[in-house]
């Protein structure tokens, strides 16, 4: 398959490849192999063990269980669909602004080709704020999970659609073995059931269909009917402001993960605060 294309110039939209998910997953494999060639897994696991002593895991799930609607604020320099989201990406400063606005946790893109992030950004953000930090990526290998812990992450995202069932189970178990929390992302009833088979406590609903790129905010309500109330349900993608946040909270979301809206905001702290004011 062809690699993910270079991002367009600022202000222009990226072309939407028909096989976006497959291309992003392939890029994740390639990035992982390049990093493994530089630093072997055994060394990364050694660093992860050291990090577990120096920077104990912050409770990602507990941070999202506060009354009302919690916000996971996302840091990403660009989108594979829409191109650059900022021309001045400073993760530490942005993380501090999100924290000032009341974000419950942070999602940090570590996928380079598609989103312009780096695993090293996890350490930068971890040092800047006291909030739980999640590695947002297409996790396809244990290496990425060990690397996340080594850089101070508290949680990792696992995308059901990107993994065969046995790999999903193995990677989930590996993450738990390192003491990390997980957010398991789904896009259908079948995928939600797969997440429940893992006994995943935090389940994310991606409103974006990566086959045709449509946003369906109604998906959260439909999947809340499948996901028990004792699981944290996170609504992802397409949250453009307080009205969407209010709707999703009414539909059963415990938290929203918001990226593009915050990245494009002139005042990200105020934007986060406006989202979390939407409480029932």
**DSSP labels for 183-250?**
EEEESSHHHHHHHHHTT-SEEEEE-B-TTT--B-TTHHHHHHTTS-TTSEEEEES---SHHHHHHHHH
d(CA 17, CA 45): 35
pLDDT tens across 49-79, in order? 999 998 899 999 999 998 899 999 999 999 8
Choice among 26, 147, 185, 191 that is catalytic: 185
Choice among 76, 79, 191, 202 that is catalytic: 76
Is 218 a residue whose pLDDT tops 50? yes
206 among known catalytic residues: yes
Choice among 26, 45, 236, 260 that is catalytic: 236
Residue predicted with more confidence, 277 or 265: 265
185 among known catalytic residues: yes
Based on its alpha-carbon atoms, the radius of gyration of the chain, rounded to whole angstroms, reads 17
Is 180 a residue whose pLDDT tops 90? yes
76 among known catalytic residues: yes
pLDDT at 277: 61
- CB count, 10 Å around CB of 145? 27
107 among known catalytic residues: no
Mean pLDDT for the stretch of residues 33-45: 98
d(CA 160, CA 173): 14
pLDDT at 82: 84
| CATH architecture, range 20-276 | Alpha-Beta Barrel (3.20)
């Amino acid at each position: 398959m062809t690699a993910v294309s270079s991002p367009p110039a600022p202000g222009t939209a990226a072309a939407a490849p028909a096989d976006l998910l497959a291309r992003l997953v392939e890029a994740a494999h390639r990035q992982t192999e390049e990093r493994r060639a530089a630093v072997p897994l055994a060394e990364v696991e050694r660093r992860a063990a050291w990090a577990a002593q120096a920077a104990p895991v912050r409770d990602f799930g507990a941070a999202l269980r506060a009354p009302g609607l919690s916000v996971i604020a996302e840091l990403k320099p660009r989108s594979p669909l829409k191109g650059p989201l900022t021309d001045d990406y400073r993760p530490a400063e942005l993380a501090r602004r999100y924290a000032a606005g009341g974000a419950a946790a942070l999602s940090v893109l570590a996928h380079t080709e598609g989103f312009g992030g780096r695993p090293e950004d996890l350490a930068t953000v971890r040092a800047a704020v006291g909030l739980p930090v999640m590695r947002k990526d297409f996790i396809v290998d244990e290496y990425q999970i060990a690397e996340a812990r080594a850089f101070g992450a508290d949680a990792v995202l696992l995308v059901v659609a990107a993994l065969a069932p046995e790999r999903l189970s193995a990677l989930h178990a590996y993450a738990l073995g390192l003491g990390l929390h997980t957010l398991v992302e789904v896009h259908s009833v079948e995928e939600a059931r797969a997440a429940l088979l893992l006994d995943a406590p935090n389940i994310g609903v991606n409103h974006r269909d990566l086959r045709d790129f449509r946003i369906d905010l109604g998906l959260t309500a439909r999947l809340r009917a499948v996901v028990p109330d004792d699981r944290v349900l996170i609504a992802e993608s397409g949250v453009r402001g307080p009205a969407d946040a209010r709707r999703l909270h009414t539909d059963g979301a415990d938290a929203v993960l918001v990226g593009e809206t915050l990245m494009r905001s002139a005042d990200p702290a105020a934007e986060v605060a406006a989202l979390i004011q939407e409480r029932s």
